[in-house]
Amino acid sequence: MGRAPSSDEAVRRIQQLIAERQLEPGDRLGTETELAEELAVTRPAVREAVRMLSRTNLVRAARGPGGGVFVAQTADRGLARTVSDAIAGMLANRLTTIPELIEVRLLLEVPLVGLAAQRADAATVGQLRRAIEDAERGADDEQVQRDTDTAFHRTIAEASGNRVACALVAWSHLVFQPLLKDLIAPGIVESVARDQHRQILDAIEQHKPALAEQAMREHLRYLTDLLEIVSRPVS
């Protein structure tokens, strides 16, 4: 007599079920009993699988009438949230530093903008241009500058066409950029940052990956230099 499928197998089957049905956040998978029957696994295996997938932000369980197991996030968004939460925790516990995260951002965003320059379509170029134009119109509004900066960088990541890489870089938009903006606020010249965004956009629109990567590298180095300047002790 063979062994009953484990919780790891139940995790795999639930993930497969979500993918095959193309379920979206909020969609109901069923009760633990219903899932155990449908997936041909034991109820304890389903219960443990739900706990495991809840920790990775993929599903959530609700009790009571109308309860059951629901999709919490798509797989890529779940990955993005998991990575972001982990990095936020590392920052809070001083297990990483801002300079270290800047290095990671360079490693991720420079190649991504190269992919975006290869793959971006007219709609993406339009989104990037609107982000810059909105920032220009709201030049005196700090929140507008933050929101449009986030939109610009997120659009580039999405334009890369690589969903895993896009999920892995989401921590930058969700956790890192707001913190960095707070730190460099005394020194940043938003018009300079907008000009750098325009250079990145021009390279993407011309489908020139090497030029886009160079422009992104210079933009991130500008932010790094600002951080060093504002962090220097006043003599």
**Strand, helix or coil for residue 40:** coil
pLDDT digits (tens, 9 = 90+) for 73-83: 888 888 888 89
Fold of 7-73: Arc Repressor Mutant, subunit A (1.10.10)
Give pLDDT, residue 5: 62
Confidence of residue 112 (pLDDT cuts 50, 70, 90): very high
Angstrom distances, CA of residue 113 to CA of 158, 163, 168: 10, 14, 14
76: its two tokens: 């890529």
pLDDT digits (tens, 9 = 90+) for 126-171: 999 999 999 999 999 999 999 999 999 999 999 999 989 998 899 9
* pTM for the whole structure: 0.77
Domain boundaries, the chain: 7-73, 76-231
The Cα 222–Cα 199 span in angstroms is 14
The CATH number of the structural domain formed by 76-231 is: 1.20.120.530
Cβ 84 vs Cβ 104: under 8 Å: no
